Structure 1
């Protein structure tokens, strides 16, 4: 597959058949951050999630801090899950996902720098936005917009030296490479984030709905402080989140109206965007090729016209445009 130098086409942000292909190619085969073990403190209390139309439930089964079961709410079937040494719970949504270490090679040393069991859970909120899931990830994976869209955040983390280090299925964002320990900002492919700074931690999941232009945002907040100190932190991070929300809705409007079709990615300033979009492109194209071969084989066995069996959308590699 050629290297992605252009953005994915706008059609990939508004096509229902394309999202269903993404669901099979990307979401069914991934791992997801559900939260630190401090999110699941009460024995028997169910914490519910919905990822790519799969209902996921996590529940502490006993007083042991790591005795957390993750299962399909509809079928009761257990999902593969993994708790890191420092207390982060990850889960799959199908048996098609590889092992945790295979999906996230080299992640453990990075998240091993923070003891997540020391961050008490404080609050969760969720709401829908009129944008595709990739529209929000595009914004998180680059910080060209930060100085103008997030003036308060830029005071603490100026984008002058901002760098993104991309790995197999995650990216690390560093505000200043000379101060690598100044906060931990991670993106987990395809749709989860983790941000540790200011005495607290926030994480969010960008959850696609069945409508390609509608996404549900789910936020979890943790902090060592309560009362006014937590509320001050919460107000700050919520301001940043709403600034991104408004930017994404406006960007999606341009994608829907045909104002924007596709563009060139800056190889330095937008390396995070190029990295994750390349992963989406590669996985979707691979899934498409597999399904075409499978459908063609079924057609030959049944004596049908194979062209009638192929219903997936025609994909175009933007790098070849």
Structure 2
């Protein structure tokens, strides 16, 4: 059993202090998926995101007669003079960072463009976006997305079209590719972008969601974007189908968070095959949090030494518990 990976303890889903460490370690040092370029097709609309308490604004300033490219897309903070690093893939996917501490896009998502360049994400127009809060930690939702063991029981409609028997997850550097059925290469593509974003192509349309953390560890905000090229009637059928899956996941996450906060569940063992996606992202979170904690502790010790405080005057202080 010692060789099997254990889940993150329940405390990691319930601690405000730990979230602040996650914010510095994970969110401020990651690239975040904002959407395909069709999300910004309306030249008169500023699209605003709030990710880990940082506001990101995207505006399409290209002339109406031009196509949409990186020259026409402007990404900035609340202060318009503060430009934010962004990257538009050749296939039409826009990503942005929250700080200058992030590595370059190619290093962070090594190999991603080789996969996404096989798909033209500019074909499906943006049809609808919705946003609402949920009573669960951001990791609770990502846990559910990164495995499909629960699909057969909680998503009967989805499982009818995408049997979990074939479901597999392949993990790469800071992203995962889900495959619902190897025989449906053009449908059933699910991408997870570490830490909180997804892109899903199935049911004839495309959708993405972001699970946005709040300072309250038991609360997250869900943001969904939906894309489809069909008529209004066809889109509404697609929307109804994918929303049913999202509602089922939402209810499952709120119940799971209740159990985490009540102490019903502490930690457990992850299935190395069926839950390899959960193992991948949880270990990545753990690795980054430990690195940040070590870096901050070293910096604090150096400040104390530089101040030449007499021995015994200043104690070591209480470290954030990350075990």
Query: One fold, TM greater than 0.5?
Result: yes
Q: Which residue of 1 aligns with 2:97?
A: 92
Q: Which residue of 2 aligns with 1:133?
A: 138
Q: Which residue of 2 aligns with 1:7?
A: 7
1:274 to 259, 271, 279: 279
Q: Which residue of 1 aligns with 2:110?
A: 105
Q: How has the CA–CA distance of structure 1 residues 307 and 206 changed in structure 2, closer, same or farther, with 3 Å as cutoff?
A: farther
Deviations 1:201-226 (A, max 9, x none): 00000000110100000000000113
Q: Which residue of 1 aligns with 2:320?
A: 313
Quick check: 1:48–1:55 contact (8 Å CA) kept in 2? Answer: yes
Q: Which residue of 1 aligns with 2:61?
A: 61
SS of match in other structure, 2:160: helix
Q: Which residue of 1 aligns with 2:301?
A: 296
Question: Could you state the TM-score of these two structures normalised by the residue count of structure 1?
Answer: 0.94
Which shifted more, 169-178 or 136-145? 169-178
Distance of 1:135 and 1:149 partners within structure 2: 16
Which shifted more, 226-235 or 107-116? 107-116
Matched residues, number: 315
Which shifted more, 17-26 or 41-50? 41-50
Q: Which residue of 1 aligns with 2:26?
A: 26
SS of match in other structure, 1:161: coil
What root-mean-square deviation, in Å, do the aligned CA atoms of Structure 1 and Structure 2 show? 1.7
Runs of 4+ in 1 over 3 A off after TM superposition: 177-182, 303-312
Question: Could you state the TM-score of these two structures normalised by the residue count of structure 2?
Answer: 0.94
Unaligned runs of 5+ in 1: 317-321
Is the helix fraction higher in 1 or 2?
A: 1
Which shifted more, 47-56 or 81-90? 81-90
Quick check: 2:187–2:204 contact (8 Å CA) kept in 1? Answer: no
Unaligned runs of 5+ in 2: none
Q: How has the CA–CA distance of structure 1 residues 314 and 306 changed in structure 2, closer, same or farther, with 3 Å as cutoff?
A: farther
Q: How has the CA–CA distance of structure 1 residues 306 and 187 changed in structure 2, closer, same or farther, with 3 Å as cutoff?
A: farther
Quick check: 2:6–2:267 contact (8 Å CA) kept in 1? Answer: yes
Instruction: Give, in angstroms, the shift of residue 158 of structure 1.
Output: 0.3
Distance of 2:275 and 2:314 partners within structure 1: 39
